[in-house]
Structure 1
């Protein structure tokens, strides 16, 4: 096996639960290949529930060396920071430039030699890089699912993926449907589904027991939008004599099944711990919804269940049906929730006579060692052919011209770009809308107003806007009490002015509570007001603050007072819903400050 350099554009981050991306990278590393693993740059615009992931990405970037981290002597990690607008033509060009610059600098400093490119991601930026920056490199697309069918926001990927199918030198697929889809555009295709680290599982002798008095039914992997929660709700409620254990990150609302006493969530564990828990289980389940996306998926967990000797129950996914028919119908396949529950009952009644050794034998046939050998042999054969046709000629003048051009870009174009992107693009409008959250409003026990936060000036007129907001909600009889607090220490107390204004507008003085002490931070403000709300048994409030201050406040409220229902309305100075292309210096300063404040609070474990 020859030693090569690889760049892997991943569709997941390195820290997520163990998957094909990790297997491939670690195996290349063990074979003394060097790998630059580029974290996921996404396939859809960001949403509010991405906030935690965005903050983590920023923190990881801060504690890296210009975005790079060392995993081991052969694996380096790139944590890219790009603009989260994957299909905007303007930002595609900008993101391509930013990512290309980082990678080329890395290649130069690390002496990467004609790296082989493997991408799991049909993102427009990646395709631009393959067509331009890496046009003379061997390019492999590992098609791991039907990504454009994963969510409505990812639908534009379909046309980009077709382009990638056509332009890649080599295509790997994980399922029969992905193979058939890619065959329309390329002839150099190999179907290499995920496989199991069989030796590693057999050598892991640790067993972590849980719920020893009952039969344990286990699911490993992310609880994401592919999971059929309605099916699980039915099965778990019907089979209360069984334990249901879930190992993996929770990415969706699981309240429907969280309420049951026979359900346990162990969260995301390292792969070794996951296997140690699996070995104490009795069955493995794959409760996926059946749709175009899941029919294109080959479940990594399938062979891990079998390697641990677990019988498997699954919904009727296309790839599972093919696998089962190729192995004497070893998988119990369900067309509906009643069948799913009955299969569990049936397996439990026959559990002692099931041939667990046969299950492990089937898994061993799908071992990662065998799969990796096929993958690496295919790459090396294609690399030899590719290098024969590669034009190795160099043009010294062209190289000199490119060096001069890069210097000019760094000196002149980058500052201009930063100015334009800051003041004449929708970037800060998008970022501001992430900060300015709002929720549906209904009658509540009280209104809580934070005045003075979220403004950049020591002396500001923000309290006037909060006064008008407060008046509107009180006049609409949405609450009977109002609590006023200020985050700014000023000559005349803002809360005193707010109170005076509300009284002159006819609001009963007895309904107004003010805090004349100035908290040192939003966190202290929340704690001060929150303690009084708890004392007064108030559990439902309308919270009014400066719009860009609302996300930080909300995160602190929910972390410290989870039993208080927080409703945040649109206020007078909420950012416009229509996209804005011009930004003021003041707004930019406030937005940047708020994101830094969120990071600061996260690092100090305030939420």
Structure 2
């Protein structure tokens, strides 16, 4: 395990939230032996206004400096992460004109850099590792600006145009060529990044096994006429509505429950008309195991497209950790799971897999799933992650000694 390093994470997310985040899981464990600063994605002045009006939630008092922007966050394992909220920036993603965008984004990056340099000085963060977690937009202009020793890109998904428009693709490509190393969460992502940076490695997503283990199934549920299928996660544009609707319609005696943030209203519009379908709002991460344990089967029905090929879904190990069988669409080449989950290429195959699994599940298969998930714990993933960072660090030190 890597020890004694200063790590600043330029993140694309917040630290808190209802769903599990790989960045948070890894940094929480790395914080046991290293000093970590987690930088939340910068909210805009628009977010400040919307929060003051009660239409969204943002830490306005910390953003405006009325409270400390930097504070300690205690992790589940008793470590401490320094949690930094940035000053609000200008809302500019909607701007199409390149020169205007460049000028205004320059202001944003100046504010961002100034705040980070203050923290680096105050916290005495010498030779920091800058770990940019899926945020090349801010990671790229920070290269060489933060007195850093090492720049690493942690990429856990493919880029899309929802936040930064199509400009993000060229920005990410340039960023990949300039960082010292890349860590991705899937083999497919790694194959893409290696084109731009040969120093690219994979650390796949894991599961908080100790959190899920107490809720693990020991036997197949006895209720034969009311089988229950669950999906827990964001309900967004990745979701294959056609595939799920076919199963819902063809299996009227099976209950389908969907729990999570609803970002694609078409899902509810299409599926809520069926009496065997229910929707529920997001729940906290520590509430997930208990809910999963009541299901007879878990589904991951993502669309099979170019974007989703990048995904290594967090929920797959969570389902398995409580012994729940998984049926998923063939959206990504997840060869690690080929003998442990059921993968469907068509909506008919998806339905048939559900029928077969519900009919044939048994104690032996439950034990096999749980044992498989145990091998994919976040503790193990954090060790892998730390070893790769350590190697990047040693390589950079050697490189500097030769110049």
Equivalent residue for 1:125? Answer: 138
**Correspondence 1:372 to 2:382:** yes
TM superposition shift of 1:217: 0.8
TM superposition shift of 1:261: 3.2
Q: 1:136 to 1:69 in 2, by over 3 A?
A: closer
Q: Which deviations, in whole Å up to 9, do the C-alpha atoms of 1:20-45 show, x marking residues without a partner? A: 1111121122x232222122348xx9
Q: 1:109 to 1:153 in 2, by over 3 A?
A: closer
Q: 1:280 to 1:51 in 2, by over 3 A?
A: farther
**CA distance in 2: counterparts of 1:51 and 1:249, whole angstroms:** 22
TM superposition shift of 1:287: 0.7
After TM superposition, the structure 1 = structure 2 runs for residues 340-355 of structure 1, keeping only pairs within 5 Å, are 340-352=350-362, 355=365
Q: Which deviations, in whole Å up to 9, do the C-alpha atoms of 1:385-435 show, x marking residues without a partner? A: 3235458xxxxxxxxxxxxxxxxxxxxxxxxxxxxxxxxxxxxxxxxxxxx
TM superposition shift of 1:267: 2.0
Equivalent residue for 2:58? Answer: 57
The higher radius of gyration belongs to 1
**Correspondence 1:314 to 2:321:** no
**Correspondence 1:112 to 2:125:** yes
Equivalent residue for 2:173? Answer: 162
Q: Which deviations, in whole Å up to 9, do the C-alpha atoms of 1:43-74 show, x marking residues without a partner? A: xx99xx99999842264636972543432262
Equivalent residue for 1:520? Answer: none
Equivalent residue for 2:245? Answer: 233
Q: 1:4 to 1:182 in 2, by over 3 A?
A: same
**Correspondence 1:301 to 2:315:** yes
**Correspondence 1:185 to 2:191:** no
**Correspondence 1:71 to 2:94:** no
Equivalent residue for 1:356? Answer: 366
Check conservation: 1:298, 1:319, Cα contact below 8 A: no
Check conservation: 2:51, 2:57, Cα contact below 8 A: no
Check conservation: 1:177, 1:296, Cα contact below 8 A: yes
Equivalent residue for 2:21? Answer: 19
SS of match in other structure, 1:292: coil
Q: Higher relative contact order at CA 8 Å, sep ≥6: structure 1 or structure 2?
A: 2
Please, what is the CA RMSD of the aligned residues?
Answer: 3.1
**CA distance in 1: counterparts of 2:163 and 2:131, whole angstroms:** 26
SS of match in other structure, 1:56: coil
Please, which runs of 5 or more residues in structure 2 have no aligned partner? none
After TM superposition, the structure 1 = structure 2 runs for residues 182-221 of structure 1, keeping only pairs within 5 Å, are 182-203=193-214, 214-221=226-233
Equivalent residue for 1:245? Answer: 257
Structure number having the greater helix percentage: 1
Equivalent residue for 1:5? Answer: 6
Q: Which deviations, in whole Å up to 9, do the C-alpha atoms of 1:489-515 show, x marking residues without a partner? A: xxxxxxxxxxxxxxxxxxxxxxxxxxx
Equivalent residue for 1:335? Answer: 345
Q: 1:55 to 1:68 in 2, by over 3 A?
A: farther
Counterpart of 2:103 (choices 78, 90, 113) is 90
Q: 1:122 to 1:58 in 2, by over 3 A?
A: closer
Aligned length: 379
Counterpart of 1:283 (choices 284, 297, 300) is 297
Check conservation: 1:92, 1:125, Cα contact below 8 A: no
Equivalent residue for 1:527? Answer: none
TM superposition shift of 1:262: 2.5
Check conservation: 1:93, 1:125, Cα contact below 8 A: no
Equivalent residue for 1:444? Answer: none
Q: 1:95 to 1:351 in 2, by over 3 A?
A: same
**CA distance in 2: counterparts of 1:120 and 1:185, whole angstroms:** 17
SS of match in other structure, 2:333: helix
**CA distance in 1: counterparts of 2:321 and 2:41, whole angstroms:** 29
**CA distance in 2: counterparts of 1:124 and 1:91, whole angstroms:** 13
**Correspondence 1:257 to 2:271:** yes
TM superposition shift of 1:147: 1.1
Q: Which deviations, in whole Å up to 9, do the C-alpha atoms of 1:222-241 show, x marking residues without a partner? A: 11111112322332232221
TM-score (norm 1): 0.57
SS of match in other structure, 1:264: strand
Q: 1:333 to 1:365 in 2, by over 3 A?
A: same
Q: 1:64 to 1:358 in 2, by over 3 A?
A: farther
SS of match in other structure, 2:274: coil
Equivalent residue for 1:428? Answer: none
**CA distance in 2: counterparts of 1:294 and 1:127, whole angstroms:** 24
TM-score (norm 2): 0.84
Check conservation: 1:136, 1:390, Cα contact below 8 A: no
Q: Which deviations, in whole Å up to 9, do the C-alpha atoms of 1:316-349 show, x marking residues without a partner? A: 12233x2333xx3x32111222221221111111
TM superposition shift of 1:14: 1.9
